[in-house]
Amino acid sequence: MSSLKLTILGCHSATPRVNAHPTSQYLEINNKHFIIDCGEGTQRQMRKYKVGFSKIDQIFISHLHGDHFFGLIGLISTFGILNREKPLHIFGPKGLKEVTLLQLRVSKSYVKFDIIYHELTSKNSELIYEDEKVTVHTIPLNHRVYTNGFLFSEKQKNRKLNPEMIQQYPEIETCDYHNIKAGKDVQLQNGEIVKNERLTLEAAKPKAYAFCSDTAFKPDIIPIIKGADLLYHEATFLEDRIDLAKKTKHSTAMEAAKIAKEAGVGKLVLGHFSSRYKNEELFKTEAETIFNNVTLAEAGKEISL
């Protein structure tokens, strides 16, 4: 079973259009469920693509341009209407707390659950979230306002039981499995020690997903995202408008592909397309000139690893 699934909820830049939704993603990783960025209309896209509202306990906001956070207040408000009680953690730049609290106050929409704000200010990569299954580090980006990408990493997993080998030792009981998966050897009644490696198989390699939007070409993120299985990198422009990319601190498809190649990632997802391009296949074509495994973001697209 796949332990990492990314669902694109929206992947276009600037203003929402009928068939172009601003940035938002739903990430399932090692049975944890996260929303990344929250452009206007995110909650509608979540409903459209059957994202369970009650599964979300953490929301990560890259930066405070409207196309990445104007949908946050509506989502928070809807959590309230749905009688949410458990806390909601919001990670994002300083300012998010003030702006959401003011909106809740003027609309007298006091919600019953706690909102715990983790306001980010560091310009260095830092660990901002950790539980028993996953870590999240920031990826400092270079945009017109303070911006972070996020690296979501599965923790090292337990080794898997090897059923064939275990059957050879009838005295090993089900209640021992937990210790064996955690790496312990087994001592039999006759005193014999059975080494853990004999009873278990390699753990699945932990997966990692790097989200990088919005940013100018920034090669110094490469050490942070090195070897990630999946990289979403913004590609607002093609090389034909690299002047505009530089001016607005965005990337071209070519630049995104360079990052993917240098970082040795498994797969590259491009998004944040400018509406000036009618044929989005050109983003793929341009990136594929230097990196093989490229796919285009598209609302509703699921990418499972």
User: Binding site for Zn(2+): which residues?
Assistant: 63, 65, 67-68, 143, 214, 272
Residue 144 interacts with a second copy (CB under 8 A): yes or no: yes
Nearer to a second copy, 95 or 266 (CB): 95
Asked if 16 is part of the footprint of a second copy (rule: CB under 8 A), the reply reads yes
* 77 counts as binding a second copy under rule CB under 8 A: yes
Q: By the 8 A CB rule, do 7 and 300 touch? A: yes
Q: In angstroms, rounded to a whole number, what is the distance separating the alpha carbons of residues 154 and 108? A: 39
Q: Binding of a second copy at residue 127 (CB under 8 A)?
A: no
Min dist CB 68 to a second copy, Å, is 9
> Quick one: which segment of 35-43, 121-129, 154-162, 279-287 binds a second copy (CB under 8 A)?
35-43
Among 2, 85, 86, 98, binds a second copy (CB under 8 A): 98
Nearest to 231 by CA among 255, 252, 205, 259: 259
Q: Who contacts 223 (Cβ-Cβ below 8 Å, separation ≥6)?
A: none
Token output for 281: 């296949």
* Nearest Cα to Cα of residue 67 among 28, 20, 26: 20
CA-nearest of 105, 58, 54, 47 to 79 is: 54
Q: Is 290 in the site for a second copy (CB under 8 A)?
A: no
| Closest CB to a second copy among residues 113, 169 | 113
Check if the beta carbon of residue 153 is closer than 8 Å to that of residue 133. no
C-alpha atoms less than 13 angstroms from C-alpha of 215 in its C-beta half-sphere: 24
CB of 17 to a second copy, least distance (A): 6
Stretch of 8-16, 209-217, 257-265, 285-293 contacting a second copy, by CB under 8 A: 8-16
Q: Which of 37, 57, 67, 185 is catalytic?
A: 67
Question: Known catalytic residues?
Answer: 67
